[in-house]
Each structure stands twice: as C-alpha cells, then as structure tokens.
A and B are shown apart, each in its own frame.
Chain A
Amino acid sequence: MIKSSLARVFFALLKRDLLLAFRHRSELFNPLLFFVLVVTLFPLGTGADTKLLQAIAPGIIWVAALLAAMLSLDTIFRSDFEDGSLELLLLNPHPTSILVLAKVLAHWLITGLPLMIIAPLLALFLGMDQELIGLLVVTLFLGTPVLSLIGAVAIALTVGLKRGGILLSLLVLPFYVPVLIFATNAIEMAMSGLPVTAQLWILGSFLLLAITLTPWPTAAALKLSLS
C-alpha cells in the first residue's frame, strides 16, 4: 500500500470539494444572491436617505455577510455526511483536524471569497466612501474565514440532526459577535478619520487563533456526530 503524504491528501480533498461545488453551481451562487438580497432590503426598510445609509452601511454589509456565511455552513459537511464519505474521512490515517481545515478552506473559497468580491459593489449602492471600500474588503478578508472556521464547529455538532437550522443560528451567532464588532468598528473609525491598525491586528489575531484552535473541536464533534 502506498501511503500518501498529508499534503497530498489535503490538496486532494480541497480539489474534490471545489470540484463538487463547481458541479453544483447553485451552491456557489445561492449564498451570494442571499447576501445581495438582504443588503437590498435595508434601504427599502429604512428609507433611501443617503446619509443614514452611509452611516449604517458597514453594519448592513457585515450583518448580511454573517447571515450568508451562517446559511451556507451546511454545505461543509452535510452532503459528505449523507453519502458516507465523512466516515471515510475519519478513517483516514492522517489527523482529522488538518483534513477538516482543507474542507473549511474550500468552504471559504466557495462562499467567503465571492462575498468579498461583490461587497464593493454593494458598498457603492449604499453610498459608502470609495476610500473606505478597500478597508471593507480587508476586514472581510480577515473576518469571513473566522466565520467559516467557527461555523465548522457548530455544523459538525449538528450535522447528524435532521433539523439543525435554527439551532445552528443559536450556536453560531453569539460566537460571531467579536468579529462583527471589530470589523464594523474599523470602518466606522476610518469614516471619522481615525487610524484602524489596532482593529485590523485584532481581526488578524482572531483569524490566527481560529485557525489554530477550531480544527480540534470540529474533529471531535464530527467523531461524536458519527458515533
């Protein structure tokens, strides 16, 4: 038996997940459409006052991104759980926590990255300053992977349940609060012309912490869900 190296397994898994997503285009576009729709609803609900929209734009975009990320979490493990490939993943001799990281990375590339690309357009719709749009993209770049990583723990806990939908939001959203606070705060500070390096460093440290810490509970939760 040829034992393949961890790196090969990691990239094979990443490639497989990306390929699967590209074959199911709707999985790729639904979170994106949801994101755009939610942002579109806000001006309709609050009135099209430019000043007001400008002031709350970072909050709207980030809350919509949070919800879109949460709704797309199901795709990380659900189909693998249903067709049994998740069990094979756990039987793999390599550490599950690292393999989980490959799946989360694939999820971020499928859902987080498109959000980042479309967000500047929505920011323009809401009348955000053009200089701030770059910053918005940076916060999304640092923040959305954290959402995927934390979400993976929750989805791993609930993947065995038939109706995990509302439960998932209860499990995940309180943990998303710090990311939301620092990301929107960075943009608000920049609006009033203050430096934002501190917020970006903190977001970056959240990302590093999440990468190092979340794979273990995710792997443990997957083992529980399959037991």
Chain B
Amino acid sequence: MMKFIHKTASPPYFYQLSGRWIPWLAGITVLLLLAGLYGGLIVAPTDYQQGESYRIIFIHVPAAWMSLFVYIAMAVAGAIGLIWRIKLAESVAVCSAPIGAGFTLLALITGSMWGKPMWGAWWVWDARLTSELLLLFLYFGVMSLYAAIADKRVASRAVALLALVGVVNIPVIHYSVEWWNTLHQGPTIAKFDKPSIDLRMLIPLLIMATAFKFYYVWALLLRVRVELLERERNTQWVKLLLKQLKG
C-alpha cells in the first residue's frame, strides 16, 4: 500500500498519470454541468414563494459547499505534506487555495445577487454571509503567504501550517459569528426554511454539487501539473519531457 502511494506521489509518475485523467475529468465535469443546469433551469418547478430567482441556488449552494470542502482538503493535504514530506501533497495544498477562493467568491457574489430581490439589499450582515467573507480572507491569507516566501518548499510548509491553524479556527469563527448575529437582530425576511425540498429541485442540486467536485479535481490537477513542472524544472524528467515535446 505504502509502496503504491509512494509510486503515485512521485512527480514524474503523477505527471504522466494525471495527463491521462484530465480529458476524462473534463468530460465528466461538462456533462454533469449540462445535466445539472438543464435540470435546474428547465425541469425544476418554480418556487411558490420566491418565483424564478431561487434558481440561483443551483450555483450558489454547491459553491458554498465547495468553499468549505476545499479548505478542509487543503488542510488535510498540507498535514500529509508536513508529516510525510510528500512533495505532491504540498503542491496539492498550495494549488487548492486559489480554487477555493474562487468558489468562495462565487458563493458570495451569487448570494448577493439572490439577496437583492429577496432581502432588498445586496449585502446583509447575516451570520452565514459574514463567515463566508471571513473564509475568503483566510484563503487570501494563505495565497499571499505563499506568494511572499521566496523558497517554495518553505513557503508550502508555511502554508500547510497556516491552513492547519485555520481549520481548527474555522468552527470557532463560524459559531461565534452565528452567535453574534442571533443576538443582534436577525434579517426579518425568513431564509431558506422550507420544510422539505422538492425532489425535482434536489436532484439537479446534487448533480451540480457533484459537477463542482469534479471541476475542483480537474482544475486542481491542471494547477498541480504546472506547479510540479515549475518546481522540478532542474530535474532530469522535466528536461526529458521538454526534449520530447520539441521532438
């Protein structure tokens, strides 16, 4: 088992393997996105309370889920990199940050687009919005720390450490923000408190969530491959690869 992991995690082997995965990942992502959007925008019924504007949840909710998921994935990869010194895990942690920040930003933007017709304001100091905004700042912190340290090996370990500290703190931040808001006056218009969600809405939502997961892996592999090439530019296998490309 360990042997398999070590083999897969070695940069040249991983580079080759991921190159074969990428077309498949891209295909699955696009298919799932199309299916999910069709189901969400055309098949799913209109909401009796919110009309058509609820349909943004098919983007918004998966993006919000992914924003947390990617942070946790980043911290786990960082921990693996710190403990077992696996270079690939370090790259995965570092490359996850911009993708996660993208998902967070997407969740915030779609959320405020939904908030304008529903709450009558682009931004409300609601607990979820605020903790999502703080999550975005955490991602920016990780990204700028990585950019600031010149030695990339040291930088990726610093990032891993920060992501671990962050992952311990996220629940604390989340719940204190929630608590802060419930004691202040909450938004008077009720949020999504439907008793149950229609199956025709739930299925496209889940498809979209899966599509976003596949997109994450796809984008991650693309980024990791570039990162690996850049880091290993002085090794034999990269030079060989370049020679092959030149023909």
Q: Could you tell me which A residues sit within 8 Å of B by CB distance? A: 153, 157-158, 160-161, 164, 167, 170-171, 173-175, 177-178, 181-182, 185, 189, 206, 213, 217, 220-221, 224-225, 227
Contacts and interface: CB of A to CB of B under 8 A. Distances in A.
B145 A181 contact: no
B148 A167 contact: yes
B158 interface: yes
B144 A182 contact: no
Interface string B127-165: 000000010011011001100110000100110011011
A221 B158 CA distance: 7
A161 B138 CA distance: 19
Contact of B145 (A167, A173, A178, A206): A167
B176 A174 contact: no
Contact of A153 (B134, B148, B157, B165): B165
Contacts of A182: 176
B199 interface: no
Interface of B: 134, 137-138, 140-141, 144-145, 148-149, 154, 157-158, 161-162, 164-166, 168-169, 172-173, 176-177, 179-180, 183
Nearest to B170: A174
Given A220-B161, A224-B154, 8 more contacts: A161-B148, A167-B145, A170-B141, A171-B162, A177-B134, A178-B169, A181-B177, A182-B176
9 contacts: A153-B165, A167-B148, A170-B141, A178-B172, A178-B173, A181-B177, A185-B183, A220-B161, A227-B154
B165 A217 contact: yes
A185 B176 CA distance: 11
